[in-house]
Amino acid sequence: MPRAETPYSGLADTWGRQNRKLHNKSCAECGSDFRPRRAGASYCSRPCARKKNGGQNVQLQTWWVNSKGYIEGRVLTAQGHRRVKQHRFVMECHLGRLLREDEHVHHRNGVKSDNQLDNLELLSSSQHTREHNSERVYRRGYKLNLSAAERGRRSERMARRHSDNRAAALAKVEAPRG
Ligand SMILES: [Zn+2]
Ligand SMILES: [Zn+2]
């Protein structure tokens, strides 16, 4: 029976079978002669492929939005893989150093996912609290612009309520159980 014609180019594999499609190539990194597995392969091995970007051509950053609306991610840095909040990471890249825990990064326009550098501000934790409290709407107290008389009445009422609560609590403790 005649042998079927091989559809391939007739390149011999290591056993002398003429079944190879692709010619050997020279590795773009180390120059060694290798047998490509795909037509598009340019490197002999994975280490050689990675070297083309200084060993860094793995995926450097992945980002997602966390349950609180902040962008969070995993990045490859000099410290290895790190889990970071994007606004803090942007500030760290800008300053060229890591942030301490008491250093907060504030979103000037209040949009948690707007992490452009000019929307971010580095604050100490106390400055940050002050910043947010200044925007806070107080439902009671000084922001109500009460007259001195009204403030006095309210203060008395609260004092009375407080002492009533206290009396009620004492009565409960002293009441016989049964
Ligand atoms: Zn190579
Ligand atoms: Zn803030």
Q: What is the pLDDT along the chain (178 residues), one digit of tens a residue?
A: 566 555 555 677 777 777 677 888 999 889 999 989 888 899 998 878 877 666 555 667 889 999 999 999 998 877 778 899 999 999 999 998 999 999 999 999 999 999 999 999 999 999 999 888 877 776 665 566 778 898 899 999 999 998 888 888 888 777 766 5
CA distance linking residue 37 with residue 44, whole number of Å: 10
The number of CA neighbours under 13 Å toward the Cβ of 13 is 9
- For the chain, the domains span 1-58, 61-135, 147-172
Name the closest ligand to CA 29: 1
- How far is the centre of ligand 2, averaged over its atoms, from the C-alpha of 107 (Å)? 5
- How far is the centre of ligand 2, averaged over its atoms, from the C-alpha of 165 (Å)? 38
Query: Which CATH architecture is the domain 61-135 placed in?
Result: Alpha-Beta Complex (3.90)
Element (H, E) at 121: strand 120-124
Name the closest ligand to CA 46: 1
- How far is the centre of ligand 1, averaged over its atoms, from the C-alpha of 82 (Å)? 30
The number of CA neighbours under 13 Å toward the Cβ of 101 is 0
Name the closest ligand to CA 114: 2
- How far is the centre of ligand 2, averaged over its atoms, from the C-alpha of 63 (Å)? 21
- How far is the centre of ligand 1, averaged over its atoms, from the C-alpha of 33 (Å)? 8
Name the closest ligand to CA 108: 2
pTM: 0.47
| Residues with Cβ within 8 Å of residue 155, at least 6 apart in sequence | none
Indicate if the alpha-carbon torsion angle 140, 142, 145, 147 is positive or negative: positive
Name the closest ligand to CA 106: 2
**Helices in 7-124 by DSSP H: which ranges?**
46-51, 86-95
